[in-house]
Amino acid sequence: MQITTTGIIIRSKASGDDRLVTVLTPDHGVLDAVARSAATPRGRLTSATELFCYSRLVLFSYRGSNTIDSADVEETFFDLRKDLEGLALASYFAELCCELAPREEEASAYLRLLLNTLYLIVKRSKPLAQLKAIFELRLLTMAGFMPDLTACSVCGEYKEGSMLFSVENGALYCKDCHRGQAVASEIPAGVLAAMRHILYADFSKLFSFTLPKDSLRVLAGFSERYLLTQMQRGYRSLDFYHDVETT
């Protein structure tokens, strides 16, 4: 069966002269494929199957294996290679997509989120801490790990001030109800409003909010702890990002 699609390379590994790649596509989700001779300098698939390259692809699928027949570059995100911190963050996002994006089913929202976030990393038009929190929380929401930030999970009250948030069960508590519940940390009102925006806003408005630097740091802390708690594992790419983080 022939598959014609677009996709971004989210994992790439040399295997002799070939490349073993993982591609995030809008209509077939995450696909693993072989790109023949793509690990050689002059291979016809070399440039179009590099990590983070967004390409038009023609694949041949047979008995559960995919081979890339042809590929044309749409966007290379080449400037990521000039920015170690941005490249590290992009690598973390790619690792998350490999784990959380659906395989062999529709995934256009995942691809849209990754492409838009990579463009913003390259432009540096938003703080990286903000992009990281947005990507983590929105990706978790799409993958079925959406926290409940609408109101106190015990009394149902919607509080405009600070509340308490549990990264363990993804629930909010007001100050009157948190005793005897899961361990929870106080979350400032501005940070909570930002988290609600990330979860519930239309995609066209997803990135359109601002927070002071200190609040962004708190937001990034909550989003990361929630993700790591829900996934019950660490990520080497995240560790590397923190090693080179400057903002």
DSSP 103: B
For residue range 138-185, what is the model confidence (pLDDT) as tens digits? 999 999 999 999 999 999 988 777 799 999 999 999 988 888 777 899
What pLDDT score does 162 carry? 79
Domain ranges, ordered by start, for the chain = 2-75, 78-146+182-244
Mapped onto helix, strand or coil, the DSSP state of residue 195 is helix
Question: CATH second-level architecture of 2-75?
Answer: Beta Barrel (2.40)
Neighbours of 90 (CB within 10 A): 25
For residue range 95-126, what is the model confidence (pLDDT) as tens digits? 999 999 999 899 999 999 999 999 999 999 99
Residues 6+ apart with CB under 8 A from 242: none
Residues 6+ apart with CB under 8 A from 83: 121, 122, 124
What's the CATH number for 78-146+182-244? Answer: 1.20.1440.120
Q: Which of 156, 160, 223, 224 is nearest to 188 (CA)?
A: 160
For residue range 186-195, what is the model confidence (pLDDT) as tens digits? 999 999 999 9
Residue type, 196: R
What pLDDT score does 182 carry? 75
Determine the average pLDDT of the residues in 24-53. Answer: 95
69's tokens: 């027949």
180's tokens: 């005897």
206's tokens: 């997803």
Over the chain, what is the mean pLDDT?
A: 94
Lateral strand order in the sheet of 163-166: 148-152, 171-173, 163-166, 185-187
90's tokens: 């992009």
Equal fold, 2-75 vs 78-146+182-244: no
83's tokens: 């920015």
For residue range 59-100, what is the model confidence (pLDDT) as tens digits? 998 888 999 999 999 999 999 999 999 999 999 999 999 999
Q: What is the pTM of this model?
A: 0.95
